Structures are given as structure tokens and as C-alpha cells.
Amino acid sequence: MRTGNHSLRGAHSAFAACVVAALLAIASVTAGAAWGAAGGLPGTGDKSFDPGSTGDNHCVSPEGVDANQLLGISQQLVVVGACDVVQAGEFYAFFNANWTMNTSWEAVPADYAPSAPTPLQDFLSKVRSMTFVVDPGTTHEKSYTYRAQAILDVRTVHDFLPESGPDWPVALFLAKLPPLRPGNHRLQGIIEMAARHCDGLGTDPAVNCLGAGTTLLGVCPFTVMPPDAPARRP
């Protein structure tokens, strides 16, 4: 399937499905578990990106891991469907921009030849950039493109879900995105690859692979609240 000049990836992506988090679906966490925000108003009021401070933002996984603390991000860490409210005037980063891989080439499409010993090494050798498009198709549309290595952080599913998560690597693209006006917004994620890559988790090219060039991961909603609005509690 094609959308504009970009191929549209399947439901493997957190962006594509707009689920609470791709990690939860992949790890088959028990029903009812969800990420949640705890304590403090969204944002720190600091206009600089300070990876050494967590401020008052705490997006917590179903198994008690504070993702802000783990990743060292002080800005609101947006997880669609859970920690998805940002305060006007604050910078934010999207956790849902991610790509999950196997630790080995356990399963790949028949026509795919890996170019590295592991899926992670294969991915890192081919990823070029990530583009975030805010409010696509509207008069307020804005695009922000980042060199992949400038915003890339590799963790594992187990880091966020220590009780049930496998040791699968997760490539997170944690760009600091500029403040927005209050209201409902949408975010589009587009990843650029130098060559085709597959994740080692399955054999469906539409779900388990990224093609050379740009791939549209999907569009997800989030909300920006007025500066004086109270924080939303889970």
C-alpha cells in the first residue's frame, strides 16, 4: 500500500496502530495493564533539552518503570493513549516513535538477505533520519527532520517491562519537539532507510520490514492543554 511518496508500514509500529505502546502489544502484557503519568504538571518550563534531569514528568510502565527516569528525559514523554497530554509552552518527546527487533535472525522473509550479524546491527547501519510532521494536511502543518543518530536511543523491551518483557532491542527516536497551541493535534512519523531492513521477528514484509527510502509509520493523536490547566491523572 502507498500513501503519497511514502510506503505505509503495518501494525508492528506503535505509530501505525496508535496503541498505548508497541512494547505492550508485542510482549502480550495482561489485559488492563497500561502506562500512566504520575506526579507533577506536564513539562518543566525549561526551554532547553536537559537529558540529565527528569523534572516532574513521570510516564510509568505497567510494571513500574519510570520511562522518563530510565531514558533521562525531563520533557513530557508522550505515550499515545496514556501519557498523551502536553501543556502549552512545553517541549515534548514521543516514545511511540520506535522500531523493535529480535536478538537474532529467527524469522525473515524468504527474499531478505541480512547484511549484519544481528537485526540491531543491520538496522543501525541503514537508518538515516526521522521526520515528525505535526498536524499533517492542515494549515498548521510543520515538519521536523532529524538525523537518526542525533535522537536515537536503543533499549530493550525488558528495560520497560522487567517482569514479562523479552530482551528484544528497541530503537527509540526521542526528538525534542517544539511547543504547540492548546487543542487536539496529530503527529505523523516518517523514517528514512538507506536500504531494506527486516526485524527478525516474522516473515511478513508489510509488517516486519522497512524498505529503502522513506516509510510512513502512521498518524497518532495527542492533546495540548492550556498553561493553567491541571495535570491529567490516570
- Is 153 within a domain? yes
Q: Which residue has the higher pLDDT, 44 or 70?
A: 70
Q: Is residue 232 part of a domain?
A: no
The yes-or-no verdict on residue 194 having pLDDT over 50 is yes
Cβ neighbours of residue 11 closer than 8 Å, sequence gap 6 or more: 17, 207
Whether residue 215 lies inside any domain: the answer is yes
Between CA 87 and CA 94 the distance in angstroms is 14
On whether residue 233 sits in a domain, the answer given is no
Higher pLDDT pick, 48 / 107: 107
Contact predicate 217/80, CB 8 Å: no
- Considering the domain boundaries, does residue 133 fall inside one? yes
More confident site: 34 or 39: 34
Expressed as residue numbers, the domain containing 98 is: 2-225
**C-alpha cell of residue 61:** 510502565
Dig out the grid coordinates for 215 from the structure: 516509510
What burial letters (b/e) apply to 70-84, b meaning 16+ CB within 10 Å? bbebbbbbbbbbbbb
- For residues 89 and 45, what is the distance between their CA atoms, to the nearest angstrom? 7
* Number of folded domains that form the chain: 1
Q: Is the pLDDT of residue 116 over 90?
A: yes
For position 8, what pLDDT does the model report? 43
